Amino acid sequence: MPNDRASRTHLGMLAFLASDTVIFLLLVVSNVYLRRTEDHGGQTLLDPAHMLIFSVLLWGSSAVLVLAERQRERRDPRGAGALYLVTALLGAAFAVAQGLEWSHLMARGGTVSASLFFATFYTTTGLHGLHVLLGLPMLVGLSVLSFRGLIGRRAPGVAAAALYWHFVDAVWLALYLVFYVWRGP
Amino acid sequence: MNQRVPAVSAAPAAAPALSWWRLFTSTDHKSIGLTYMGVAAVFLVLGGLEALVMRLQLAVPNNHLLVGEAYNRFLTMHGTTMIFFVLLPLLLGFTNYLLPLQIGARDMAFPRLNAFSLWLLVGGGLLLYLSPFTGSPSQGWFSYAPLSETAFTPQRGVDLWSVALIVSGYGTTLTAVNILVTGARLRAQGMLYRRLPMFAWMAWVNGFIILFALPCLTAVLMMLEVDRLLGAGLFTRGDPVLWQHYFWLFGHPEIYLLILPAWGIISEIIPVFSRKPIFGYEFVAWSSVAIAFLSFAVYAHHMFAVGLGWPVDLAFGTTSMLIAIPTGIKVFNWLATMWKGSVRYTLPMLYAAAFIVQFTFGGVSGVTFAVVPIDWQLTDTYYVVAHFHYVLFGGSLFAVLAGLHYYYPKFTGRFLDERLGRWGFWLNVIGFNGVFLVQHLLGLMGMPRRVYTYPALSGWEALNLFSTVSGFVLGVGLLVLLVNLWRSRTHGAVAGPDPWNGWTLEWLSSSPPRRENFVALPPLHSRRPLWDLKHPDDMDHVRPPRHDRQGRPIRDEEREHR
């Protein structure tokens, strides 16, 4: 079914995410590269263990989203709607945690202009945060639509939105590893 | 020997009249395509006037018309306008208009997203032209850091400039998504990849280039803004060369995304007016794919003078030379298509011929830059200016002009005026070559680019004056063209659906095409469905050889216009 609408929307989202990947890749590379030009002691301000808790919330939201998609395919709009809402709440918790972490870091001197590490850190995680914030209304919208029974079993737009959210979570995995875990070249 | 197309193409011209409201709200790919072109025309006038003012300043040595910072502002606005808001929208306009028609689709894959992309681009252009109110950007379209940092260009216009490019860049990225999905999913039954018309092929490959090149610009502009607004110092305390790496990782593929659809247009025009199918279809198609890959692998040839080190220079010098191969393949295939064809020098074909000459010239001077020592000598001289204007203006824009003359009957149902068209053509060709041919010499004589004045050195004054005068000839030529485009819309001779006796699907629909493009599609068995339709006794997919043993043509198509 090459002209099928579902595959069209899916492909479109894939293409968009491919181009998004390039942006994240370049930003991460700039962090890795610029670490060489300056002492990056700033990284010690980051607390990987603390952030891991909230990262797990975000990654967990992907798992919940998989369940929600399954409920949708089983024609359980109420269950799916509830699970979409849970996904959004987990995402929102992550966004709040990131905001708190940022203010915490800035209070301790880790500002954008403090070091090149932090400059690229805020640029990259900020862009990721923006992706999370854009995803939240999408998920809430899905939940509302689902509760109202407006989403069918095969809903290409919904599948594409889910793809977006999984992408955002996968990007966070890479960012967490580079910024929080890896100690640099 | 010109058989009429059977009844399918005699569909009524049901396109509703052009209205402003429809223009702003339409999601129809044809309306969007034309709006892109209209927007580009407005910016062409702006960018062209900027260029003429700069040329006036350079007409005589030690001139005081446009000095220092003011000159830099014109330079920046001219470059940015021409690349992002003239050539790009023109080519996106063509792609939007033609891609669905050529592959037998009703519309693009995501019509509303398509309209959104258009208005993002228009919004970006408006932001750019708001920047003069906050201090025009003066850092050049390449915006090299640290020159573009707050310390050296503090005016807010630079930030508006960045935002303008991010906004319009997102529009273009979304268009690329649309192009890719349309090409991949909306082809009509029987329209296999190996049967795609050449323009559709190249526009589709172009989608990939856009998809991966533009995010590089978005990323580096975000980094620049973090520097400018938040004082991060990524390109000052960090590494200014990082800007160049990222910028050219976008900037070089950008050149190819401005030329690839233009090549597609040329590859449509030359076969039709030579009455021969394109020579080496597979080579023309696959060389586009090769170029898409190579365009990313050659970016650092803009940076030979930076001091990247010998191994890097060598590697990028080599890949830059390699790109001459697929490009040369295309040029030779066009020539081979014309070879022994019965060539008709209509207006589109004239422009296509001028394109081949000028583009080849620009391509050859491009190869000279792949030679690192020559590049070291000539970088930042007028030789570079001459080279890229030959490629982008003499190549890309001339191909677009060829396409405008070729597709104007499809867009409007009427021909462009022949007499005005010929005046425009010769003024453009003479003007263009007059402006830029002598700039090669100026560059070789050592005149640096990006300077607002120069001393009275023997030879420089005469050539510069010549260049400026030619600039005004070119300006008049483009004006004649615009007048022609506007007038012929209502005064041109009526064209009918297939005025050039074409072979691709767009000529099957009425002129201008109805909302859903086609009433019915013929069976698609070959690369030239309309040939099959017009010559049921001599279809392409059951074709005999083209030449007899003595090399004389034995098929009608090569005798049609003798």
Interval B460-494: pLDDT, tens: 999 999 999 999 999 999 999 999 999 999 999 99
Which pLDDT value is given to residue B3?
41
What secondary structure, in 3-state letters, does B131-151 show? Answer: HHHHCCCCCCCCCCCCCCCCC
CB–CB contact A16 B174 (8 Å): yes
Confidence (pLDDT) at B13: 47
Q: How confident is the model at residue B543 (pLDDT cuts 50, 70, 90)?
A: low
Instruction: Give the pLDDT mean for A108-122.
Output: 92
Q: Is the pLDDT of residue A20 over 50?
A: yes
Contact residues, chain B, for A131 at CB < 8 Å: none
Is residue B26 pLDDT above 80, yes or no? yes
Return the H-helix or E-strand segment holding B492: none
Distance from CA of A183 to the nearest CA of B (A): 19
pLDDT at B466: 97
Cβ neighbors of B373 (< 8 A, separation 6 or more) are: none
Q: What are the two backbone dihedrals, phi and then psi, of residue A61, each rounded to the nearest 5 degrees? A: -65, -30
pLDDT attached to residue A6: 58
Q: Select the residue of A15, A23, A113 nearest B180 (Cβ to Cβ).
A: A15
Of B174, B185, B223, nearest to A123 by CB-CB distance is B223
Closest listed residue to residue B138, CA positions, set B164, B157, B162, B125: B157
Given a contact cutoff of 8 angstroms between Cβ atoms, the answer to whether A102 and A129 are in contact is: no
> Is the pLDDT reported for residue B389 higher than 90?
yes
Which of B110, B185, B242 has its CB closest to that of A3? B185
pLDDT beyond 90 at A65: yes
Which residue among B185, B212, B234 sits closest to A34, beta carbon to beta carbon?
B234
Calculate how close chain B gets to A6, using CA atoms only, in Å. Answer: 11
Poorest-pLDDT segment among A34-38, B93-97, B193-197, B426-430: A34-38
For chain A, what percent of residues have pLDDT higher than 70? 95
**Cβ–Cβ under 8 Å, residues A54 and A154:** no
Q: What is the CA radius of gyration of chain B?
A: 24
Quote the DSSP letter at residue B512.
Answer: S
In the predicted structure, residue B316 carries a pLDDT above the cut 90:
yes
Confidence band for B375, pLDDT divided at 50, 70 and 90 = very high
Tell me what ipTM this predicted complex has: 0.94
| Amino acid at the residue A2 | P
Q: Residue B2 — pLDDT band, cuts 50, 70, 90?
A: very low
Tokens coding A73: 């395919």
CA distance A33 to chain B (A): 9
Residue B557 has pLDDT above 70, yes or no: no
Distance CA A46, CA A27 (A): 19
- The answer, yes or no, to whether residue B14 has pLDDT greater than 90, is no
Phi (first) and psi of residue B553, to 5 degrees: -65, 135
Mean pLDDT of chain B: 92
> Residue B19: pLDDT band by 50, 70, 90 thresholds?
confident
Give the pLDDT score at B1: 35
Q: How far is A79 from chain B (nearest CA, A)?
A: 30
Token pair belonging to A183: 């100690």
- Higher-pLDDT residue of A36 and B41 is B41
Q: Give percent of chain B with pLDDT exceeding 70.
A: 93
Instruction: Enter the DSSP assignment of A40.
Output: -
> Which CATH number do you get for residue A171?
1.20.120.80
Report pLDDT for B562.
Answer: 43
List pLDDT tens digits, range A41-61: 678 899 999 999 999 999 999
Closest CA to B190 of B540, B501, B512: B540
A33 contacts in chain B (CB < 8 Å): 239, 242
Q: What is the pLDDT of residue B108?
A: 95
| Shortest CA gap A157–chain B (Å) | 12
Residue B317 has pLDDT above 50, yes or no: yes
HEC string of A62-131?
HHHHHHHHHHHHCCCHHHHHHHHHHHHHHHHHHHHHHHHHHHHHHHCCCCCCCCHHHHHHHHHHHHHHHH
- What span, in angstroms and rounded, lies between the C-alpha atoms of B430 and B473? 8
Q: Which of A20, A23, A116 to mutate to test the interface with B (most CBs of B within 10 A)?
A: A23
Q: What is the pLDDT of residue B37?
A: 96
Residue B92 has pLDDT above 90, yes or no: yes
- pLDDT value at position B551? 66
CB-CB neighbours of B10 under 10 Å: 12
Quick: pLDDT tens for B269-285.
999 999 999 999 999 99
Q: Give the pLDDT confidence of B528-539 residue by residue, as tens digits.
A: 999 999 988 878
Residue ranges per structural domain of chain B: 500-534
pLDDT of residue B542: 76
- Residues of A near B (Cβ–Cβ under 8 Å) read 2-3, 7-8, 11-12, 15-16, 18-20, 22-23, 26-27, 30, 33-34, 37-38, 112-113, 116, 119-120, 122-123, 127
Average pLDDT over residues B396-407: 97
Q: Give dist(CA B432, CA B429) in Å, integer.
A: 5
Per-residue pLDDT at B283: 94
A-chain residues within 8 Å CB-CB of B242? 30, 33-34
Write the residue in A3, A15, A26 that is nearest to B219 by C-beta: A26
Confidence bin at B458 (pLDDT 50/70/90):
confident
| Residue B547 banded pLDDT, cuts 50, 70, 90 | low
Contact predicate A175/A28, CB 8 Å: yes
Q: Into how many domains does chain A fold?
A: 1
Alpha-carbon torsion B180, B185, B191, B193, what sign? positive
Q: What is the mean pLDDT of residues B406-415?
A: 95
User: Radius of gyration over alpha carbons of chain A, in Å?
Assistant: 18
DSSP B425-483: HHHHHHHHHHHHHHHHHHHHTTPBSS-S-----TTHHHHHHHHHHHHHHHHHHHHHHHH
pLDDT tier for residue B7 given thresholds of 50, 70 and 90: very low
Range of the domain at A140: 2-181
Distant-in-sequence, close-in-space partners of B362: CB < 8 Å, separation ≥ 6: B387, B388, B389, B390, B391, B394, B395
Count Cα neighbours of B22 within 13 Å in the Cβ-side half-sphere: 11
* pLDDT tens column, B440-456: 999 999 999 999 999 99
Query: Rounded CA gap, B361 and B444, in Å?
Result: 16
Q: Which residues of A touch B253 (CB under 8 A)?
A: none
Joined together, the tokens standing for residue A138 give: 């999408």
